[in-house]
Chains A and B, each alone.
Chain A
Amino acid sequence: MLDTIIYTLQDFMTYTKGITYLIMGGILIFMPLFWYFLTGRE
């Protein structure tokens, strides 16, 4: 997808939102782990 040109806003949204959804999944997994790291010594 990266090497082809995106011609419509619609395709742009589908593509970028697809990526943000993956990032969101990553955040939801990372944040709790980080919290445990942050408070691990308490």
Chain B
Amino acid sequence: MALDKPVFIKPKLTLFNIIIGIILVMGLILTILRFTKGIGAVTNLDNNNPWGIWIGFDLLCGVALAAGGYVTSASCYIFGLKRYHSAVRPAILTAFLGYALVVLALHYDLGRPLRLPYPIFYSQGTSSLLFEVGLCVFLYLTVLFVEFTPAAFEWLGLKKIRAIVVKLILLLTIFGVILSTLHQSSLGALFMIVPSKLHPLWYSGYLPIYFFISSMFAGMSMVIFEGSLAHRYLENEMDATHKKEASGVAFGFAKAASLIMMGYCATKLIGLAVDNNWHFLGTSWGLWFMFEVVGFVAFPAVLFAMGSREKNLTMVRFAAIWTILGIILNRLNISIVAFNYHLPAADRYFPSLSEIGTSVFIVTLGIVAYRFITTRMPILHEHPDYKAH
């Protein structure tokens, strides 16, 4: 069978492509620096601040924002909401790329990246929550890869293998939800070991629950956001079903996210009460905390609600972006801003330009890969040979 789309499409010299080219070159230079001069040469990390934005942004935000994969596939295949079907493939693809990039970013951050398989295959430190995260991310990346393969198989015309994988979809989806529950929450639980270093407003026994719940609306917002981007730049890749269902998906997720976000605010309130942290609210840390919870969770939740009531797509998309920023803010607060809050200002961490550059490089790689795949494989449209599986 002939390929759906050719492998090589000659790149055009647009402004977008030029910027991407520049970022990629810069990334390569930084990569060479990192692996010849060491982590110390490119980052502002030190002995008091061993984790910077490569963990706080690339890992924590990356994983949270890649939650769209499990949220969408669970809605479609487990909860039986068939109208999300056209959103599943793009969401799985983003999740897969997201996790792949997280693992790639880890190669920069780890001192000895080649030993990455050690915790799983060589010496299992089972008392560590990081072990839990590592194991689940590894397994989930595998699950996502398998979930993604039908699109590649359709593109390559491998009908038989595709049929086998498609039969496993439900099983894979359930695995995916279990693994996501585990590692999303364990990322929060990573910080349970440091009550003395993380500010009490962010430290809580509920950290794993907060991380899990916020990953749900992070994922939904990403699906909405991505959908709006794809609509704008990849519209010619979409088929009629995708276009027809897209706004329904956005409104459905907006409604769900809004409800979950309100629930999240409620759990935050409960967290304040059980630890009796009210008195911190009057401090400047308290203001920052309110800024995060009210400004970047409660506010977009209301926007989502209004958007979905009035069927206002622009408002929903705006709320999605706002929520995504809120998730990034929350993860950075926990891993960087409110972490080591007890240290004097001179000992605090601020990312170096090369650290930021490397993160930008990795995100750009993700965009390039997404574009490469969506312009070739049946992601935003169904393959004519395999209607409705």
Is the pairing of A and B real?
yes
Is A18 in contact with B175, judged by CB distance below 8 angstroms? no
Is A18 in contact with B126, judged by CB distance below 8 angstroms? yes
Cα distance A5–B346 in the bound complex, in angstroms: 46
Q: Given A10, A28, A32, which contacts B127 in the complex, CB threshold below 8 Å? A: A10
Cα distance A13–B128 in the bound complex, in angstroms: 9
Taken residue by residue from 132 to 163, chain B's Cβ proximity to chain A (1 for < 8 Å, 0 otherwise) reads as: 00010000000000000000000000000000
Which A residues touch B178, using CB under 8 A? 28
Q: Is B124 in the interface zone, CB < 8 Å from A?
A: yes
Taken residue by residue from 11 to 42, chain A's Cβ proximity to chain B (1 for < 8 Å, 0 otherwise) reads as: 00110011001000000100010000000000
Q: A28-B175, A32-B171 are in contact. Are A21 and B126 (CB under 8 A)?
A: yes
Which A residues touch B174, using CB under 8 A? 32
Cα distance A18–B127 in the bound complex, in angstroms: 8
Is A18 in contact with B171, judged by CB distance below 8 angstroms? no
Is B171 in contact with A21, judged by CB distance below 8 angstroms? no
How near does chain B come to A12, taking the closest CB pair, in angstroms? Answer: 9
Residue of B nearest to A27 (CB): B178
Which B residues touch A18, using CB under 8 A? 124, 126
Q: Is B125 in the interface zone, CB < 8 Å from A?
A: yes
Cα distance A13–B193 in the bound complex, in angstroms: 14
Q: Interface majority SS on B: helix, strand, loop or mixed?
A: helix
Residue of A nearest to B178 (CB): A28
How near does chain B come to A21, taking the closest CB pair, in angstroms? Answer: 6
Cα distance A24–B280 in the bound complex, in angstroms: 40
Is B175 in contact with A14, judged by CB distance below 8 angstroms? no
Q: How large is the interface on A (under 10, 10 to 19, 20 to 34, 35 or more residues)?
A: under 10
Cα distance A10–B126 in the bound complex, in angstroms: 10
Q: Given B127, B135, B171, which contacts A14 in the complex, CB threshold below 8 Å? A: B127
Which B residues touch A13, using CB under 8 A? 126-127
Cα distance A18–B175 in the bound complex, in angstroms: 20
How near does chain B come to A14, taking the closest CB pair, in angstroms? Answer: 4
Is B126 in contact with A17, judged by CB distance below 8 angstroms? yes
Which A residues touch B135, using CB under 8 A? 21
Cα distance A7–B124 in the bound complex, in angstroms: 20
Which A residues touch B126, using CB under 8 A? 13-14, 17-18, 21
Residue of A nearest to B135 (CB): A21
Q: Given A10, A21, A28, A32, which contacts B124 in the complex, CB threshold below 8 Å? A: A21
How near does chain B come to A16, taking the closest CB pair, in angstroms? Answer: 8
Is A17 in contact with B175, judged by CB distance below 8 angstroms? no
Taken residue by residue from 160 to 179, chain B's Cβ proximity to chain A (1 for < 8 Å, 0 otherwise) reads as: 00000000000100110010
Cα distance A30–B126 in the bound complex, in angstroms: 22
Cα distance A32–B170 in the bound complex, in angstroms: 10
Within 8 A of A (CB), among B98-138: 124-127, 135
How near does chain B come to A17, taking the closest CB pair, in angstroms? Answer: 4
Cα distance A21–B135 in the bound complex, in angstroms: 10
How near does chain A come to B76, taking the closest CB pair, in angstroms? Answer: 19
Which A residues touch B175, using CB under 8 A? 28
Cα distance A18–B171 in the bound complex, in angstroms: 25
How near does chain B come to A39, taking the closest CB pair, in angstroms? Answer: 12
Binding site for A on B (CB under 8 A): 124-127, 135, 171, 174-175, 178
Q: A13-B126, A17-B126, A28-B178 are in contact. List 14 more A-B contacts (CB 8 A).
A: A10-B127, A13-B127, A14-B125, A14-B126, A14-B127, A17-B127, A18-B124, A18-B126, A21-B124, A21-B126, A21-B135, A28-B175, A32-B171, A32-B174
Question: Could you give 17 example pairs across A and B, Cβ below 8 Å?
Answer: A10-B127, A13-B126, A13-B127, A14-B125, A14-B126, A14-B127, A17-B126, A17-B127, A18-B124, A18-B126, A21-B124, A21-B126, A21-B135, A28-B175, A28-B178, A32-B171, A32-B174
